[in-house]
């Protein structure tokens, strides 16, 4: 019985010794291995260029998160991802090292759907997740602009809670999903009394929405009007098109 216990204890000691040796060997081997190549891929599928591969490369090097021939043991993929996600234009980041010691970084950008200029002339985007987004100077997104009496000052990156901003986000989402509206609307102007005006890309007419209730019904009415008047001048014929009335559309030359 005593001999059996001694053999079991000896077996455990041998196993522990082997494990320690293997871990030591692995750590020594990893300490000698270095990253062979860096591959950065920035998703531009939606035509967005707030960031690109060169900017990502500069960011991680300037933050001392990566350098050429970095020892594998010094690499922290999670820290790299966290730092990338702190960038105001990055929505998602993926970092991994393959068996050949090639480091891969994939980045997806946030998608703006509206640019907002509040009454203090402060700019921000609203993105597809209804969050305030930093504008930046490297790239300008081709999205409608909302301006005028907009009194909210959003904190960049925060989810929108202000009722006026949420309403603008809803309207921008509708515009973004409708190719006809997306092609028509270049700007929304908010008046002091809470009414909205559409400024079209072409034509020069002021399109008065009134309040923002029945947005879909009003824009469908506008579509039908444009279809019926295409051959007679459409929006170019009128100075004002008023959609604020429930059962009628009023035009003024």
pTM: 0.80
The dihedrals phi and psi of 82, each to the nearest 5 degrees, come to -60, -40
Which residue, chain included where needed, has tokens 């702190």?
86
Tell me the pLDDT tens digit for each residue of 117-170.
999 999 999 999 999 999 988 899 999 999 999 988 878 777 888 888 999 999
What H or E segment, with its residue span, contains residue 100? none
Domains (ranges, CATH) in the chain? 37-109 (3.10.20.310), 112-252 (3.40.50.11690)
Quote the pLDDT of residue 178.
93
Quote the pLDDT of residue 22.
46
Q: What is the pLDDT averaged over residues 214-225?
A: 87
Q: What is the pLDDT averaged over residues 102-124?
A: 96
What H or E segment, with its residue span, contains residue 200? strand 196-200
Whole-angstrom distance, CA of residue 117 vs CA of residue 143? 13
Whole-angstrom distance, CA of residue 115 vs CA of residue 143? 7
């Amino acid at each position: 019985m005593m001999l059996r216990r001694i053999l079991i204890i000896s077996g455990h000691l041998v196993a522990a010794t082997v494990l320690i040796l293997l871990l030591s060997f692995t750590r020594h081997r990893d300490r000698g291995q270095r990253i062979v190549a860096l591959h950065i891929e920035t998703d531009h599928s939606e035509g967005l260029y707030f960031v690109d591969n060169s900017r990502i490369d500069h960011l991680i090097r300037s933050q001392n998160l990566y350098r050429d021939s970095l020892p594998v043991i010094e690499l922290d993929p999670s820290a790299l991802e966290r730092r990338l996600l702190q960038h105001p234009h990055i929505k998602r980041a993926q970092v991994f090292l393959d068996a050949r010691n090639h480091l891969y970084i994939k980045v997806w950008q946030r998608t703006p759907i509206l640019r907002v200029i509040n009454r203090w002339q402060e700019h921000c985007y609203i993105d597809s997740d209804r969050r305030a987004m930093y504008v930046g100077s490297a790239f300008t997104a081709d999205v409608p602009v909302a301006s005028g009496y907009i009194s909210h000052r959003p904190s960049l990156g925060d989810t929108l809670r202000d009722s006026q901003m949420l309403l603008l986000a809803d309207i921008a989402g509708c515009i973004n999903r409708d190719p006809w509206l997306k092609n028509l609307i270049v700007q929304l102007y908010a008046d002091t009394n809470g009414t909205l005006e559409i400024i079209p890309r072409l034509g020069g007419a002021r399109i008065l929405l009134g309040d923002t209730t029945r947005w879909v019904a009003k824009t469908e009415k506008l579509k039908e009007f444009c279809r019926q008047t295409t051959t007679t001048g459409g929006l170019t014929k009128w100075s004002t098109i008023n959609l604020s009335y429930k059962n009628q559309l009023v035009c003024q030359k």
